[in-house]
Amino acid sequence: KQEVTQIPAALSVPEGENLVLNCSFTDSAIYNLQWFRQDPGKGLTSLLLIQSSQREQTSGRLNASLDKSSGRSTLYIAASQPGDSATYLCAVTQSNAGGTSYGKLTFGQGTILTVHP
């Protein structure tokens, strides 16, 4: 059974800092890994999707890396801003027997990020 762990559980930083959020998973047979942002009481916004064959993806100030063999992913946020304050969730999709999947996501517990002005 796939298990996803995120470290740290919470992070509080001053504005302008670069920061790293960590995600690990126990079963390396994943199809892809996705990072989401969730504002309090709201739904999920997709930030970055990394396919199992990729090493990293970038979008603006966000960079996500994937080391599938070691079961790890990191989300790097550059020059953090108060508007980045949210919960960040990592989720993986398992590969099926055919090597593809549009299946369910297994989520980590999330990292609660607070960026102070």
Positions in the binding site for other proteins (CB under 8 A) = 31-32, 34, 36, 41-46, 49, 51, 89, 91, 93, 101-105, 107-110
- Minimum CB distance to other proteins smaller for 7 or for 79: 7
Q: How far is the CB of 94 from other proteins (least distance, A)?
A: 12
DSSP annotation of 16: T
Q: How far is the CB of 14 from other proteins (least distance, A)?
A: 26
Rg of the chain over CA atoms, in angstroms? 14
Query: b vs e for 41-51, b when ≥16 Cβ sit within 10 Å of the residue's Cβ?
Result: eeeeeebbbbe
Q: How far is the CB of 74 from other proteins (least distance, A)?
A: 18
